Amino acid sequence: MSSNLKFFSVLFLILVLLFSTIAQTFTSSNLPLVTINTNGQTIKDDPKVTVDMGIIWNGPGKRNTLSDPKNNYAGKVGIEIRGSSSQYFFPKKSYGFETKSNSLVDIDVSLLGMPEENDWILYAPYTDKTMIRDVLTYTLDASLGHWSPRCRFVELFLNGSYEGVYVLMEKIKRNKNRVDIAKLTTTDNAGEALTGGYIVKIDKTTGGGGEGWSSNYSNIVGRTFYQYDYPKSKEITTVQKSYIQTYIRLMENALYQEVFNFPGNYHEYLNDSSFIDFMIINELAKNVDGYRLSSYLYKGKNDRINCGPIWDFNLTYGNADYYNGWSTFGFQYQAYLGADYWQNPFWWNKLMRDPAYVNKLKKRWTTLRKKELSDQRITFVIDSLTSLIAEAKDRNYQRWPILGVKVWPNYYVGNNYASEVSWMKNWITSRLAFLDQQWPYEFTSNENQLADQSISIFPNPFNDRLTVQIASIFNDKGTAEIFSSGGILIRKQNIDIQNGQIQLDFSGNKSLIPGIYILRINQNNRILFTAKVVKRP
């Protein structure tokens, strides 16, 4: 046996003993536990293998042990390793899985309070040593009124071996509870039906990428490549391909020619509000992969192109040593990417040449800084997430002892978890200050008054009944959703909006236990607003 082979053999035995010891000393967790038994199979990138999965979750404030019943899920899943470069660079693997019936047919289920679906992800935070960057960003984005992937921190056991802290999360998918656009079938090839819905992805073609088309306009060294995400390339018809390609080419033509105001302007093809929010989130995080990778566009029936949902924020908030990702200054949409084939789409710079777009962006930023993206709220979300995993993070870093070790592409390397979180907080504070300087907007007295009076909720705290008054007086129907402070959906009910007013009754069998909740009102397939409400004892 060669010396190298001996070394790796000894190292393997040490690691096995280490992992076994950690698994044996585990007693209980405040987080849900996910167990996977591969029954001797190896999980690969492709194809999925069928394994047994269980989720143990006894509820908020209760402990979870491996000997508890698998009370949240117990059944079959088809699972595979997911990710592009991450699956090769990082030993802690992320997984994609589909829940299945006993007859191995895909079946929609609700996991940890999230809406029913069959496509899910177990994301493995690794290079992000705070382990919260993705969840933090999705939480902030959701408060802006968008669907962002819902997430739950869990601890994973694979074939009895402890694998650390993971994020069980929703996969981007067309669904009434995810990307809520019309279903497009192979017979929808004409008229209104042909107009939507579509989801298009801008990303590498590895890690699940597929067929698509290239932009007519170059980005220095290449052209943006658009991939069919929904319908999938194997399902989308030739007519549907032609329709969505033509629509996006028309959008690109209007932007390239800087048609901002006249007939045929870019507003006829894209919803600039969605592009503005997408830009705000990516620039706040200074996402080095933003715009050019892991980016999505979607189009509903008889609707324009929307930008989003957001995706993949582990290399953000200073956690990248390339493309100036560590710096709190500068804009990522303008970043010089050299000869990198994956360039930012040209249309971001074109949008920023439209004075009306820029003014709307500044106004939106300044509005969000008062509440949703205030320093205080962002700090609150960070503290809430780090508090949630405070216990589990120690087990994770026993399993993966990388604190104090540079993992590509870390810029900052802290000696402990607290220093990683503190550095990120300071980075965010500095980044917010930079954006405040770059995107100032002076509200008129009338604008301030309208903003302050847009939504009122009373009484809050409440006993059994709650009234919501919307400044815009209109009549319609919608839905009200009540979430726990941890983001778990507790209740969803249909509502009537009468003269801009909503009456909610929580008496009788609809009663809520005292505590803090998140109320979300949806109307016409969009989130109207999200607010914190308090139920009195």
Mean per-residue pLDDT for 392-400? 97
As given in the structure block, the two tokens for residue 154 are: 């869990």
Kindly indicate whether the domain formed by 452-535 is annotated with CATH number 2.60.40.3080. Answer: yes
* pLDDT of residue 446 exceeding 80: no
Q: Give CA–CA dist 485/462, Å, rounded.
A: 16
Sheet architecture: strand order including 212-218: 212-218, 223-230, 198-202, 295-299, 305-307
* pLDDT of residue 172 exceeding 80: yes
**What pLDDT is stored for residue 525 in this prediction?**
66
**What pLDDT is stored for residue 27 in this prediction?**
94
Q: Using a pLDDT cut of 70, give the percent of the chain over it.
A: 91
- Angstrom CA distances, 69 to 55, 73, 138, 155, 466, stand at 9, 10, 31, 16, 38
The three-state DSSP-derived secondary structure of 322-366 is CCCCCCCCCCHHHCCCCCCCCCCCCHHHHHCCCHHHHHHHHHHHH
Boundaries of every domain in the chain: 3-170, 191-317+335-368, 452-535
- Angstrom CA distances, 297 to 218, 293, 419, stand at 19, 12, 37
- Could you tell me which residue, 153 or 8, shows the higher pLDDT? 153
- When mean pLDDT is compared across 210-214, 359-363, 446-450, the lowest value belongs to 446-450
Contact present, 318 and 328 (Cβ < 8 Å): yes
Question: Residue holding tokens 């087990």?
Answer: 395
DSSP bridge pairs for 518: 483, 532
pLDDT digits (tens, 9 = 90+) for 465-494: 888 877 555 677 888 888 887 677 888 888
Mean per-residue pLDDT for 447-451? 54
* pLDDT of residue 22 exceeding 80: no
Closest Cα partner for 54 from 36, 29, 67? 36
- Could you tell me which residue, 23 or 113, shows the higher pLDDT? 113
**What pLDDT is stored for residue 13 in this prediction?**
35
* pLDDT of residue 146 exceeding 70: yes
Residue 8 binned pLDDT confidence (cut-offs 50, 70, 90):
very low
**What pLDDT is stored for residue 365 in this prediction?**
96
**What pLDDT is stored for residue 463 in this prediction?**
78
Mean per-residue pLDDT for 369-395? 95
Contact present, 359 and 440 (Cβ < 8 Å): no
Calculated CA dihedral for residues 418, 424, 427, 429, nearest 10 degrees: -80
DSSP 377-441: HHHHHHHHHHHHTTTHHHHHHHHS--TTS--TT-S---SSHHHHHHHHHHHHHHHHHHHHHHS--
Query: 24 exposed, middle or buried (CB, 10 Å; 0-12, 13-18, 19+)?
Result: exposed
**What pLDDT is stored for residue 454 in this prediction?**
57
**What pLDDT is stored for residue 207 in this prediction?**
55
**What pLDDT is stored for residue 24 in this prediction?**
43
Q: What is the mean pLDDT of the chain?
A: 89
* pLDDT of residue 18 exceeding 60: no
- Could you tell me which residue, 488 or 167, shows the higher pLDDT? 167
* pLDDT of residue 256 exceeding 60: yes
**What pLDDT is stored for residue 473 in this prediction?**
56
Mean per-residue pLDDT for 124-129? 97
**What pLDDT is stored for residue 414 in this prediction?**
97
* pLDDT of residue 11 exceeding 50: no
**What pLDDT is stored for residue 105 in this prediction?**
96
* pLDDT of residue 12 exceeding 60: no
- When mean pLDDT is compared across 30-44, 106-120, 368-382, 505-519, the lowest value belongs to 505-519
pTM of the model: 0.82
**What pLDDT is stored for residue 208 in this prediction?**
58
**What pLDDT is stored for residue 447 in this prediction?**
62
Q: Give CA–CA dist 85/312, Å, rounded.
A: 13
**What pLDDT is stored for residue 293 in this prediction?**
96
Mean per-residue pLDDT for 396-400? 97
* pLDDT of residue 534 exceeding 90: no
**What pLDDT is stored for residue 21 in this prediction?**
42
**What pLDDT is stored for residue 1 in this prediction?**
40
Closest Cα partner for 130 from 386, 344, 311, 330? 386
* pLDDT of residue 455 exceeding 80: no
Query: 373 exposed, middle or buried (CB, 10 Å; 0-12, 13-18, 19+)?
Result: buried
The angle that helices 417-438 and 375-388 make with each other, rounded to 10 degrees, is 160
Characterize the bridge pairing of strands 223-230 and 161-170: unpaired
- Could you tell me which residue, 240 or 483, shows the higher pLDDT? 240
**What pLDDT is stored for residue 16 in this prediction?**
37
- Could you tell me which residue, 493 or 293, shows the higher pLDDT? 293
**What pLDDT is stored for residue 408 in this prediction?**
95
* pLDDT of residue 515 exceeding 90: no
- When mean pLDDT is compared across 84-93, 320-329, 369-378, the lowest value belongs to 84-93
Mean per-residue pLDDT for 122-151? 95
Q: Give CA–CA dist 325/319, Å, rounded.
A: 7
Query: CB within 8 A of 365, min separation 6: which ones?
Result: 280, 373, 435, 439, 441
pLDDT digits (tens, 9 = 90+) for 29-76: 999 999 999 999 999 988 999 999 999 999 988 999 999 999 999 999
Q: Give CA–CA dist 281/48, Å, rounded.
A: 33
* pLDDT of residue 279 exceeding 90: yes
**What pLDDT is stored for residue 14 in this prediction?**
44
As given in the structure block, the two tokens for residue 446 are: 């009338």
Say how far residue 81 (Cα) sits from the centre of its chain.
Answer: 19
**What pLDDT is stored for residue 514 in this prediction?**
84
**What pLDDT is stored for residue 516 in this prediction?**
83
